[in-house]
Amino acid sequence: MRRMATTLALSAWMGFTALSGLRLAQEAGMLDRLLDGGWNGLLTLMPVPLELGLLPNQALAFAATFAALAIGFGMGIAGLNASSTAVARKAEPVAGAVLFALVALVALYASSALTGSQLAGVFGEGPGFLVSVAFTFGALLFDHLMEADEDPADEATFKAVLAAIKAAERRALLENQQSNFEEGETR
């Protein structure tokens, strides 16, 4: 499978942003209506509400932001793992934009943590969030270094080099046989 480390990292971020978006929507009171619609079983699986103390409109705005990030991560994963190499190459800018959004998420975390905002609680306590970001960029670097360049010009050059090596081997064998024959005549 291509780009397995990147897919794993983006999948983890998709899960984090989707769950955080749902939890923020829950804090905004938007999921209360779902309780009446028979979604009780699904919502009981959700973690305890964050209780960040955000106003409902603030929590809803951040919920929408996290939902958009989750959709972007999903699009990046789908594109990078497309069966067609051409489609996967076209999806790389989408994945790059999503990674830029991850950098924006780090900026959001840093600004909320530095200002003492309640939103910092979404990212958990301690350095776990930043360590996860570091592992993500490590996975991206790993996949980038491991990916073989599939340029047709490189393949043609490789075949030409192999053909030149075989031709040189044939010439060397012929020269060796000819010199052995000439030595046999002089003896």
Sequential DSSP letters for 64-101: HHHHHHHHHHHHHHHHHT-SSHHHHHHHHHHHHHHHHH
Per the CB < 8 A criterion, the answer to whether 34 and 106 are in contact is: no
Q: Torsions phi, psi of 152, nearest 5?
A: -60, -30
Alpha helix positions (H), the chain = 4-27, 32-36, 40-44, 56-80, 85-115, 128-146, 152-186
Per-residue pLDDT tens over the stretch 38-88: 665 566 666 656 677 788 888 889 889 999 989 988 888 888 888 777 777
Q: Torsions phi, psi of 115, nearest 5?
A: -90, -5
Q: What is the pLDDT of residue 146?
A: 72
Q: What is the pLDDT of residue 187?
A: 54
Residues 6 or more apart in contact with residue 59 via CB below 8 angstroms: 24, 25, 27, 28, 52
pLDDT beyond 70 at 21: yes
Cα–Cα distance, 163 to 183 (Å, whole number) = 30
pLDDT beyond 60 at 150: no
What letter represents residue 150's amino acid? E
- Mean pLDDT along residues 15-28: 84
CA angle in degrees (0–180, nearest 5) for 95-100-102: 95
